[in-house]
Amino acid sequence: MAQPDKKNIIIFASGSGSNAQRLMEYFEHHSSIRVAALFSNKANAYALTRAETFNVPALFFSREDFFNSDKVLQQLQEFKPDLIVLAGFLWLVPQHIVQAFPNKIINIHPALLPNYGGKGMHGIHVHTAVVQAKEPESGISIHFVNEEYDKGDLVSQFRCPVLPHDTPEELAARVLQLEHEHLPKVVEELLLKQ
Ligand code: GRF
């Protein structure tokens, strides 16, 4: 369980977990920060398999566990998280969890908030909307999590161009690369500042 000598990151992921993988790689041999656990709301999320590969505890939870009980909150508390990172996690975090970890939950969103955020704005839907609007640039937003989708205070943003003939998939790949490059460093900076 939690080892007090290092700061603990907990990752929440619903899908593939390539950002989770980057975090686990980056902090695998870190002197003062570790990924303590990965939680997923999808029993077959590839993110869970990735965590097992890194010997990071991988926990599945149900809708009931998350929204209508204290089960997930209690499990989180056992790991003593210093930062909870939502990396491709699709459910809204319930109030009792947000309030238990003030300024300790961040999310990564694949667009430049406050634009192209909110309920339903995830994955390819975001990039389709950005391409259709002929935006000249897109990027990523890392922000604190509050009780509303994509509304918490920004931590940082990074930008990339949208090219004239980009498909949503091409833009998604460019944005994902930006996420992989910056998310671990932003997480590290936040934790070293605490
Ligand atoms: C990323 O684009 C993330 O910003 C978004 O979902 C995608 C997850 O990718 N919220 P992965 O599961 O980390 O590969």
**Residue 76 belongs to domain with CATH number:** 3.40.50.170
pLDDT single digits (tens) 67-119: 999 999 999 999 999 999 999 999 999 999 999 999 999 999 999 999 999 98
In a domain, 2, yes or no: no
> How far does the centroid of ligand 1 lie from the alpha carbon of residue 92, in Å?
15
d(CA 89, CA 15): 7
In a domain, 1, yes or no: no
DSSP 110-172: SS-TTTT-STT--THHHHHHHHHTT-SEEEEEEEE--SSTT-SPEEEEEEEE--TT--HHHHH
Angle 140-184-81 from CA coordinates, rounded to 5°: 110
In a domain, 174, yes or no: yes
pLDDT of residue 119: 87
- Could you count the other beta carbons within 10 Å of the beta carbon of residue 162? 21
pLDDT of residue 57: 98
Q: Give the amino acid at 126.
A: V
Give the number of C-alpha atoms closer than 13 A to the C-alpha of residue 96, restricted to the C-beta side: 12
In a domain, 18, yes or no: yes
Residue nearest to atom 3 of ligand 1 (CA): 88
To test the ligand 1 pocket, which listed residue (179, 180, 181, 186) has its Cβ within 8 A of the most ligand atoms? 179
Please check whether residue 190 is in contact with residue 170, taking contact to mean a CB–CB distance below 8 angstroms: no
Place of tokens 């997930």: 72
> How far does the centroid of ligand 1 lie from the alpha carbon of residue 154, in Å?
18
* pLDDT tops 90 at residue 3: no
Q: What are phi and psi of 146, to 5 degrees?
A: -120, -160
In a domain, 56, yes or no: yes
In a domain, 166, yes or no: yes
pLDDT band for 10, please (50, 70, 90 cuts): very high
pLDDT of residue 135: 98
Q: Which residues are catalytic?
A: 109
Residue nearest to atom 14 of ligand 1 (CA): 18
To test the ligand 1 pocket, which listed residue (140, 155, 157, 176) has its Cβ within 8 A of the most ligand atoms? 176
d(CA 148, CA 93): 8
The pTM of this model reads: 0.95
> How far does the centroid of ligand 1 lie from the alpha carbon of residue 17, in Å?
7
d(CA 153, CA 68): 27
Nearest to 26 by CA among 146, 187, 192: 187
In a domain, 186, yes or no: yes
Count of structural domains within the chain: 1
In a domain, 148, yes or no: yes
pLDDT of residue 2: 52
- Identify the bridge partners of residue 109 per DSSP, sorted by sequence position: 141
pLDDT single digits (tens) 109-126: 999 999 999 988 999 999
- Identify the bridge partners of residue 159 per DSSP, sorted by sequence position: 139
Domain interval for residue 181: 7-193
